[in-house]
Amino acid sequence: MVEKLSIQITYFLKNRLQTMDNSSKLIIVSAPSGAGKTTIVKHLLASGLNLGFSVSACSRPIRKGETDGKDYYFLTQEEFKSRIEKGDLLEWQEVYPGSYYGTLRSEVDHLLAAGQSVIFDVDVVGGLNIKKIYGNQALALFVMPPSVDILKQRLIARSTDNKQSLANRLDKTEREITFASRFDYILINDNLATALNKAVEVVSAFLKA
């Protein structure tokens, strides 16, 4: 599978980063699908750390139980491509053929303007791209599953993927794990309670530094 990757850094963005309040920080949480990053992000948001959640945009169909503007901004492929052309995305990638994910620049601007630090629940490559932009102002966490077999069991239990989609996710998982060493901290999620506590500890220390 060929993954297309693109990141747009405009002169406007560069100038804004130079003048942004140093008290504002960014927490990037990335992981293969099913590793538990969304659970960890929700826990961090509920931990009183003054974090604002950056809702990502995607072009995949909305799933049962999801809400537009809360879980994702659900766009059509045409809408997503239009946003790319307008420069509305901080980062984006075509995760699977025809399936786009990205971070809206307006989401991050709004949260930073409100005086909050921003937390992202993003794909591994997208997370690394955000880290490239913000550097030491961002903490990049990689949530590591105990094993690929356990991750497969979790994905099957979700019952949200057909066989081909599941195979694609597992193939992508093996590639994404190779990026773990490029993150600031690797959080192994073999025990959820322990992982949640460790996530709060690590993030709290970063925000206070």
pLDDT band at 159 (very low <50, low <70, confident <90, very high): low
Could you identify the residue written with the tokens 């942004």?
20
Query: Per mean pLDDT, which of 22-26, 45-49, 170-174 is the most reliable?
Result: 45-49
SS3 for 168-202, per residue?
Answer: HHHHHHHHHHCCHHHCCEEEECCCHHHHHHHHHHH
Domain ranges of the chain: 4-9+24-208
Range with the lowest mean pLDDT among 35-39, 130-134, 203-207?
35-39
Mean pLDDT confidence for 151-170: 70
The 3-state DSSP class for residue 205 equals helix
Instruction: Count Cβ neighbours within 10 Å for each residue of 1-32 and write b for 16 or more, e otherwise.
Output: eeeeeebeeeeebeeeeeeeeeebbbbbbbbb
Question: Which pLDDT belongs to residue 172?
Answer: 79
- Architecture per CATH, domain 4-9+24-208, reads as 3-Layer(aba) Sandwich (3.40)
As a whole number of angstroms, the distance between CA 161 and CA 156 comes to 8
Please, are residues 25 and 206 in contact by the beta-carbon 8 Å criterion? yes
| pLDDT, position 11 | 31
* 68 has a pLDDT exceeding 60: yes
pLDDT one-digit tens code per residue, 69-107: 999 999 999 999 999 999 999 999 998 788 999 999 999
What is the residue-averaged pLDDT of the chain? 85
Lowest mean pLDDT among 3-7, 50-54, 137-141, 174-178: 3-7
